[in-house]
Amino acid sequence: MSGLVVLALAVAPHAAADVASIQPVKGLVLTNTVHSTFVVSSGAGADRSYSGTDVEEWDSVVDATPDAIVYQLRISAPADAQANADLTKFVFHRSVRREDIAQATRINLFYSSVDPQMFAGQTFEETSVKGVTMLKSGAEVPYVVGIIDGEDPMGGIGAMMQQVAKQSAGTQPGRGPPLSGMASLFTSGHTYYRGTLKRVEAEPVMLPVLLDGVRVSLPAVHAQGTISNGDKVIQAQFWWLDSAGWPLTLEWSLTRDGHKARQQITKIDRPPPDTGPKFGGIADALQKSCHVELSGIYFNTGSAVLLPESQPALRNIAQAVLQSKQAVLDVEGHTDNVGTAQLNQDLSQQRAQAVRQALVAQFGVPAGRLTATGFGFAHPVESNDTVEGRARNRRVELACTASP
C-alpha cells in the first residue's frame, strides 16, 4: 500500500502559476533550502544518528522602493537555545538596485558580516532582465559570480553545514551544542569567478515550488557554464524564473573538484492581506472540506520556536478561526522523515502546540476553540526523497474536530 501512495504523490499534477504575480514586494518571504550530505553518528544507536538535514534560509523583502529592493536574510539554527541566540546576531540585510535588476550580469550568491549592505552593479536574489533576455536569444553571456571561498571552496553555507554536522556529533539531529564558532563563518571576503553562461534547453524548464502553500510549476531559464578565478574552476548552473520583471534565482548549483553546493527555493509566500483571497481561502477551505494547509509558518530546523516571519500568517489564520462556524478546530503538525519516528512525533506535537499557543496568546483566539495534534511523518503529502517534497511535508494544517 505504501508504494501505491508514493506513486500517487509522485504523479500528482501541479497547479499553474501566474508568474507576473511573483514580485519583490514588501512582506514576500522566500524559503531557500540546502540539503546537508554529511553523516555523523554517535555510535549509540539509530535514535542518535545524524543522517543529514535540510538547512533553510529565509529571505524576506523588508522594503521595496522605486530605486531598490531591501532583503532581510535569516539562516536556520538547530533546536538549541544558544545556537538560536548566536544566529539571531546574523540577520543580514542586502539591498539591490532596480537598475541592476534591469542590467547587471554580475551576481553575488553568498554574504558575510563584513559586507556593505549594497554591492552596486550586482544582483543577489535574482539576475537581470537583460541577462535572461540575452540567454533566451541563444547568446553566450559573460557573467561574474561572487562566492566566499575561505577554507570552504563552496562558500559560507557549506561551511555552516559542516559546522552543524560536526557539532551535532553525539546528539540527535537538531539537538547539537551551541554554534560558538558561527561568527567566524561569516567574516570572509568574496572571490569573483568569471566566465560565460549559455542556455541549456530551448524551452523553459518547469520547477516545483510551493506558492502560498500550493504546489505549482514555475517556468525557468536554465543556464550553465564554466567560471574561473586563476586556477580555480567551477561548473555553474542557474535556473532563473522566466519573468519579464523579476528573474528570481529558483535554483543554483556549483561544482568544483568533486564538491557540489546546491540551493533551491522551495517556498514562496506572498504577503497575506488583512482580508481578501488568502483570508477567505482559509475560511472557504474549512467550510468545504474542514481542512486547510497553512502557509507562512516558519520554524528553525528541528525547533518548535516560531520565527518572527510567521506573524502575518498567524494574524490571518486567527481571523479565519474567529469567524469560522466550527466550534473546535485542530492545529495539526507534520514533519519530513529525517530522524527517528519518536523525534518527529515529538517535534510535530510541539510545533502544533506552538501555533495554537500563539493564536490564543497573541491574537485572541479562545483556548477552547483550538486543540493541537502531532502526526510526525505518518501522513506525507509528497515523497520524502526530494528536497521540495520534504519541504512540503514539513507543514502545519488546520482541520475540523469534534468538540471536547
CA distance 395 to 351: 9
> What does the pLDDT look like over 349-364, one tens digit per residue?
999 999 999 999 999 9
Torsion of CA 272, 275, 281, 286, to 10 degrees: 120
Which pLDDT band, with edges at 50, 70 and 90, does 189 fall under?
confident
Domain ranges (residues) in the chain: 12-269, 277-400
Residue recorded with cell 535556473? 239
Residue recorded with cell 537583460? 130
Q: Which of 235, 278, 271, 274 is nearest to 253 (CA)?
A: 235
CA distance 59 to 61: 7
- Decide which of 115 and 107 is more confident: 107
Q: Which of 267, 355, 273 is nearest to 76 (CA)?
A: 267
Query: Looking at this protein, which amino acid is placed at residue 311?
Result: Q
Domain topology for 277-400: 60s Ribosomal Protein L30; Chain: A; (3.30.1330)
Which of 37-41, 203-207, 298-302, 331-335 comes out lowest in average pLDDT?
37-41
Give the chain's mean pLDDT: 81
**pLDDT > 60? residue 172:** no
pLDDT (0 to 100) of residue 84: 65
Write the DSSP assignment of 121-136 as a string of letters.
Answer: T-BSSB--HHHHHHHH
**pLDDT > 80? residue 27:** yes
**pLDDT > 90? residue 261:** no
Relative orientation angle of helices 341-363 and 311-323, to the nearest 10 degrees? 70
- CA 43 vs. chain centroid, Å, equals 31
CA distance 403 to 352: 18
- CA 141 vs. chain centroid, Å, equals 28
CB count in 10 Å sphere of residue 332: 25
Q: Hey, which bits of 45-139 come out as E strands?
A: 49-50, 54-64, 68-75, 92-97, 106-108
**pLDDT > 90? residue 195:** yes
Helices (H), 301-396: 311-323, 341-363, 387-393
Residue 50, all three cell numbers: 545524524
- Decide which of 41 and 55 is more confident: 55
* Residues sharing a CB contact under 8 Å with residue 139, sequence separation 6 or more, in sequence order: 198
Query: Looking at this protein, which amino acid is placed at residue 22?
Result: I
Query: Looking at this protein, which amino acid is placed at residue 192?
Result: Y
If you ran DSSP here, which 8-state letter would residue 306 be given?
Answer: B
pLDDT (0 to 100) of residue 402: 58
**pLDDT > 70? residue 174:** no
Contact between 131 and 221 under an 8 Å Cβ cutoff? The reply is no
**pLDDT > 50? residue 152:** no
**HSE value, Cβ hemisphere, 13 Å, CA-based, for 259:** 15
- CA 70 vs. chain centroid, Å, equals 18
pLDDT (0 to 100) of residue 288: 86
Which pLDDT band, with edges at 50, 70 and 90, does 11 fall under?
very low
**pLDDT > 70? residue 220:** yes
- CA 400 vs. chain centroid, Å, equals 28
Q: What percent of the chain has pLDDT over 90?
A: 60
Which of 82-86, 149-153, 341-345 comes out lowest in average pLDDT?
149-153
Q: CA dist 181 to 50, 106, 113, 147, Å? A: 20, 31, 14, 20
Q: Which of 6, 40, 180, 380 is nearest to 397 (CA)?
A: 380
Residue 229, all three cell numbers: 578565478
**pLDDT > 90? residue 99:** yes
pLDDT (0 to 100) of residue 86: 64
Main-chain dihedrals φ then ψ at residue 101, nearest 5 degrees: -65, -25
Checking DSSP bridges between strand 232-241 and strand 249-256, what pairing results, if any? antiparallel
Adjacency order of strands within the sheet including 370-374:
291-294, 395-400, 329-334, 370-374
**pLDDT > 80? residue 53:** no
CB count in 10 Å sphere of residue 288: 9
**pLDDT > 60? residue 160:** no
Work out the widest C-alpha separation in the chain, in whole angstroms.
69
For residue 271, is it left (φ>0), alpha (ψ between -120 and 50) or beta? Answer: beta
With 0-12 / 13-18 / 19 or more C-beta atoms within 10 angstroms meaning exposed / middle / buried, residue 173 is buried
